[in-house]
Amino acid sequence: MRIETLVDRVKTHRCYSHPIFHNWARVNPGTEAIGALFHHIRSFCDATRPGWNLPEGLKQIGLPTESHLLQEIVDSEENHGPELAMMAGHIINRSVPGKALFDDLSDQAHIESMLKRCSDELLGQLPGYDFATGLMPQTKKAIHTFEARKSTAPQDVYKSLGTALALEIISNRQLIPGEKACLIDSGLYRASFDEPAMHYLLEHYGETGAECQHEQNAIEAVGSVLSAENSTAIVQGADDFLNNLEALWDLLDATLLQAEGSRAAA
Ligand SMILES: [Fe+2]
Ligand SMILES: [Fe+2]
């Protein structure tokens, strides 16, 4: 298998062209729905940042260059949680006319607890909803994809490489552009890249953004190791990620955006 074939596999998966963010822009969800959406997005994104034992596992199977490429991605993701919470708080403030809900956008814990309360309120009745974490089975499954990074078994290392490739392509080409489309381009929140509270998006977006560099690193790392022996595990890691995130996007879309849309239309 060639790396181009694998990249195409990601780009033709339904996750890659999922309409969730365009539906967000179209539907103009209420403040609680925005909070719930951000709760699941940030819980998922949190799980994608730590490298765990993946860089070490790559070294152990004789792939120091690939280890370095993955470590660079992990290092650049450090401490992105506070900025994502800040952006979420800022968007929520802009979603309500009048007084801002959050007067301190650097209070990550406070913002994140409000996001979880929105999720509890709107999604708590879904089967398997966990009130301790505010997560649904679909969120947990998407998060669980990254557990393989804790293992240094060669099969898990190759799976994690496939997951990293799919993650970085999706981040660079679906998730971050999708957030820009609904948070900035939609005009719903009068938000722009110039605002300090939107720095998260500025840092991640576009040809000079972090995700573009991550994508290049991931393609380089996977492209240099892909072989007949490991391609099954690598494809499995990519597919697991895409299928699990697609299921999460579908659920959030159906419960928080389609419902709002039909309410608005009624
Ligand atoms: Fe990040
Ligand atoms: Fe990334």
pLDDT per residue over 139-158, tens digit each?
Answer: 999 999 999 999 999 999 99
d(CA 73, CA 71): 5
What does the domain layout of the chain look like in residue ranges?
3-258
Query: In this structure, which ligand is nearest to the CA of 79?
Result: 1
Spatial distance between the Cα atoms of 64 and 221, rounded to a whole number of angstroms: 10
Percent of the chain with pLDDT over 90: 94
Residue at token pair 């994690």: 160
* Cβ atoms of residues 9 and 240 within 8 Å: no
Instruction: Please give the average per-residue pLDDT across 91-110, as a whole number.
Output: 94
Enter the pTM of the model.
0.96
C-alpha to C-alpha distance for 114 and 124, rounded to whole angstroms: 14
What's residue 261's pLDDT? 54
pLDDT tens, position by position, 70-79: 999 999 998 8
Amino acid sitting at position 240: D
- CA of 166, nearest ligand number: 2
Amino acid in position 77: E
Q: Is the predicted pLDDT of residue 85 greater than 70, yes or no?
A: yes
Choosing among 1.20.910.10, 3.10.50.40, 1.25.40.90, 2.102.10.10, the CATH entry for 3-258 is 1.20.910.10
CA of 201 to the centre of ligand 1 (A): 9
Q: Which two tokens stand for residue 83?
A: 């900025």
Task: Give the C-alpha separation, 28 to 143, whole Å.
Answer: 27
**Ligand 1 center to 164 CA (angstroms):** 13
How many CB atoms are located within 10 Å of the residue 100 CB?
13
Q: Which tokens sit at 159?
A: 């799976």
